[in-house]
A and B are shown apart, each in its own frame.
Chain A
Amino acid sequence: MSAWRGRAAGVALALALFGAAATLQVARDRIYSREQAQNRAFLYVQSPAVLRRLALSFDALAADVYWIRALQHYGGDRLSRDGRQRYQLLYPLLDLTTSLDPYFTIAYRFGAIFLSEGYPGGPGRPDLAVALLKKGISSQPDNWRYYHDIAFVHYWQFQDTRTAAEWFRLARKQPDAPTWLEPVAASMLIEGGDRESARIVLQQILNSPEPWLQQMARRSLLQLDALDFLDRSIRPVIARNPPPPGTPYSWQWLVGRGAFPGIPIDPANVPFEIDPATGTVSVSPRSPLFPMPRIGSPQ
């Protein structure tokens, strides 16, 4: 009995001491905040080659650790309220992660998204995002996703639709790439105002064995025709025939004046619509060509 009591007293004493230690810890953290010191980001080893050797055969696990660190670093800086969004370790961490595990697809792809985000949501370094994705291509040249992501960086961050279209087309050329990449490339070219290149891409898509792609290409080609028709044959005529002050723009007035032989129709045989206040002509919402692609200036 006394031995049992002695053990119980020992356990109680140990628990009490642990409790006292925890209490002191809480009190110390409350009084002497170490937040600044803890938040200071460190990266002791920055060389991927050195780290690969240090990791022995556990490089994949080390890559996971650096990936989690990259996520914590990005999330921590993004959510910080003290204005310390610096993200200075984001690229080194992602570089280490992908050097330790060159097949870590998500690290390249998510990492590129984080890097390209504009400040303060991210470091605003689309150049580094492209560099990271190109590193992914060097380890997995057949992976279409990296080409696709580079295209998106060019589209969203650099607003360079022509380069984006080139990368989308490169992505489509990789094995197992989805067929929808080709129309996306065409849309990029249309949006960038390069209608002739878009027309060539769409003509190629017409040869696709997939009916939905052919249908999409036919519709896009008609939209291009509508855009060309608007630019060449309608807008200049309207600009030359402004209505007298107080009279709204209307087809009736323009036809009556002899500017047009009749109400102009789009390639799907639906009349164009004209804005009475500004005279802006657009494809009717009733047309199968509606909505029209976002467009830039024709080149």
Chain B
Amino acid sequence: MRAISWIAVNVFKESVRDRVPYNLALFAVLLIGASFLLGQLTAGQDVKIIKDLGLAAIAVFGLFIAIFIGIGLVSKEVERRSIYSLLSKPISRPQFIVGKYAGLVLTLAANVAVMTVALYAVLGYLTYIQTPAARSAWDAPGVDPRLLEAIGLIFVELMIVTAIALFFSTFSTPLLAAALTFGLFIVGHFNTDLKNFDKIVDSLPAVWLARGVYHTVPDFSAFDIKTEVVHGLPVAAGYIGTTVGYGFAYIAALLVVSVLVFARRDFK
């Protein structure tokens, strides 16, 4: 456990050295700039659009961090040959993989937390400058605690992307890993179509194949409750709970496969 936390902290420190936190400044500038501009452009929908923009930006910035750091987690160590000195220490390969994963999740958590605070600060300001009459026309309060539900699911989605990137990183080049991770991210958003394949195709094997792919490919569309939250529509706690449970199970499965693949690699 100590080895895992040691590796995780080092991954976090390395991401800080790699200037990952710069994206936080970009996020803040984006939101503040948008909040000033949108009031002129959106016919009174600035709070709704700031929420949409903020949630989308958290997802996009997180996605880039997860993919572009995740793909280098293992391959970079191999390229630099630092993997030899690392594995010669009392660190097992599973500990190495889990530690690397935990480190990137820690980086993502810190990023998402800061972006969430920035989003709430901008929403708080917009709420403060609005009249009570204007506020009463909003679908949901400006500073809405329910945004955390959407952000929580975005975070679990990013954790899955990180696990996918790490998995590909254990056996392929960074470029290929990035392409495969991004490809799976896109396919994962079309998952609902695969689920409903039987409605457009009569062939039973094709339907079974589609259903198999549906259960194998990560179901990213399920993590998207941004629209519901922004409009103040109810999202069942059970739905969030089962989706988070699905996410954790999927991550655990990916980490196990990553460990298995990495354990078979020969670094001689």
Contact = CB atoms under 8 A, between A and B. Distances in A.
A57 interface: yes
Contact of B52 (A56, A61, A105, A106): A61
A110 B45 CA distance: 11
A96 interface: no
A110 B139 CA distance: 16
Interface string A4-24: 000000000000000000000
Interface string B41-57: 11111001100110110
B168 interface: no
A68 B41 contact: yes
Nearest to A64: B49
B227 A60 contact: yes
B220 interface: yes
B214 interface: no
A57 B223 contact: yes
Interface size class of B (residues with CB under 8 A): 20 to 34
Contact of B56 (A58, A104, A105, A106): A58
A57 B49 contact: no
Contacts of B44: 106
Interface string A44-79: 000000000100111111011001100110000000
B224 A64 contact: no
Contacts of A229: none
Contacts, number: 50
Contacts of B55: 60
A60 B230 contact: yes
Contacts of A104: 48
Nearest to B53: A61
B191 to A, nearest CB: 11
Contacts of B42: 64, 67-68, 71
B143 interface: no
Interface in A97-155: 101, 103-106, 110
A45 to B, nearest CB: 17
A103 B139 contact: yes
A56 B157 CA distance: 13
Nearest to B226: A60
Contacts of B189: 56-57
Nearest to B41: A68
Given A64-B48, A71-B41, A58 B59 contact: yes
B127 interface: no
Given A61-B52, A71-B43, A56 B186 contact: yes
For the complex of A and B, list the 8 residue pairs with the smallest distance between their C-beta atoms, beginning with the closest. A57-B224, A103-B231, A61-B56, A56-B189, A64-B49, A60-B52, A60-B227, A61-B52
13 contacts: A56-B186, A57-B223, A57-B224, A58-B60, A61-B52, A64-B45, A64-B48, A71-B41, A72-B41, A101-B227, A103-B228, A104-B48, A110-B43
